[in-house]
Structure 1
Amino acid sequence: MPFNVRHGRPGEKADLVADCEVPQVQPTLRTRMRLVPAKREVLVLEERWEPSPESGRQYGRGGSKAYRQWEFRRGADGRRHKVETLRFDTRDVRDPLRATVLGAGWVWRGVLFRY
């Protein structure tokens, strides 16, 4: 899944930010990373905004989440079958970032509340 990494803006409290949008399922993912050179660690806050029937957009933090879409199609036997048409996991964004950090000899430390 394509995502871009950029320098954090002043209000984001991060050195680097990875942004990702998946138009088919409409979540917006943001991974804020704060570098701590003295400890050679990266503090990471994962955030997501996704559609919600009650409020329009729902905010969540941390953890991984998988998004899937299905549709029914007729098979060769003429019967309807449920077929997966989209699969996206938030790990598709996190894993390459984490591998880069760990590959450089730094520590990847996820945070949920204090950042």
Structure 2
Amino acid sequence: MRLFDKFTGTRRPPSGMAAYPAEDVRAALLALNQPHVPFLVRGGAAEGVDVVAEWRILEPAWQTLFGRSQVHHALQVLMRFDAVNSEVHSMDRQWVVNWFGGTPRLTLSSQYTKGQVRKSASRRWTIERKGKLGFKATETFRYSASDLKRPLQNAVLAHGWTWRGVPLKS
């Protein structure tokens, strides 16, 4: 690990691992799309990048889940491929989510974040009585930036590429 890797969120594949072509890395990222996962990975031409991953907060099928927990932030990961160095440069954007009658609206505000979002989490717990004096806490919902970023990073690393977090668009 290099000096600033921890601060930038950079992760490297095992040394000596051969890098796959950029098309294979893109295909692996897009293959993360599954109906049961709460995020979407898509082409990023509209944003001027290669691939975008984001929470499915605006999709009607997922609004119930996100709405029940009143998630307050929406995360988007923008990825650009550097085929010469076998790196995926990532930049995060985070918005505030305002809920109006059970419908989410993404709003830009002073809480808009651009760069690397390392620790953004929301959890919901249910507390139950256990016996006369005890209590049991059960986690009923978890929303974390790492739940979105970790599968992306693992797909990139498995193809011999470096995941490089960048503070601004590169």
Is the TM value for this pair above 0.5? yes
Q: Which has the higher helix share?
A: 2
Which one of 88, 104, 112 corresponds to residue 159 of structure 2?
Answer: 104
Aligned to 1:59: 112
Counterpart AA for 2:43: H
Residues 87 and 9 of structure 1: CA distance in aligned 2, closer, same or farther (over 3 Å): same
Q: Larger relative contact order (C-alpha < 8 A, sep ≥ 6)?
A: 2
CA distance in 2, matches of 1:92, 1:56: 23
Q: SS of the residue aligned with 1:64?
A: coil
Cα distance in 1 between the residues matched to 2:141 and 2:169:
34
The aligned runs of 1:1-115 (5 Å cut-off) are 1-10=37-46, 12-21=47-56, 23=66, 24=69, 25-51=71-97, 58-61=111-114, 62=116, 63-70=118-125, 73-77=128-132, 84-115=139-170
- Sequence identity, in percent? 32
Over the aligned positions, Cα root-mean-square deviation in angstroms equals 2.7
* Structure 2 unaligned blocks of 5 or more: 1-36, 58-65, 99-106
Alpha-carbon distance, 1:16 to partner: 0.4
Gaps of 5+ in 1: none
Residues matched between the structures, number: 112
Residue 40 of structure 2 aligns to which amino acid in structure 1?
Answer: N
CA contact (8 A) 1:21 1:29 kept: no
1:72–1:82 Cα contact (<8 Å) kept? yes
Secondary structure at the aligned position of 2:154 is classed as: helix
Given the superposition, is the C-alpha separation of residues 28 and 72 from structure 1 closer, same or farther in structure 2, using an over 3 Å criterion?
Answer: same
Q: Normalized against structure 2, the TM-score is what?
A: 0.55
User: Cα distance 1:113–1:38, how it changes in 2: closer, same or farther (>3 A)?
Assistant: same
Instruction: Give SS of 1:100's match.
Output: helix
**1:31/1:76 Cα in 2 relative to 1: closer, same or farther (>3 Å)?**
same
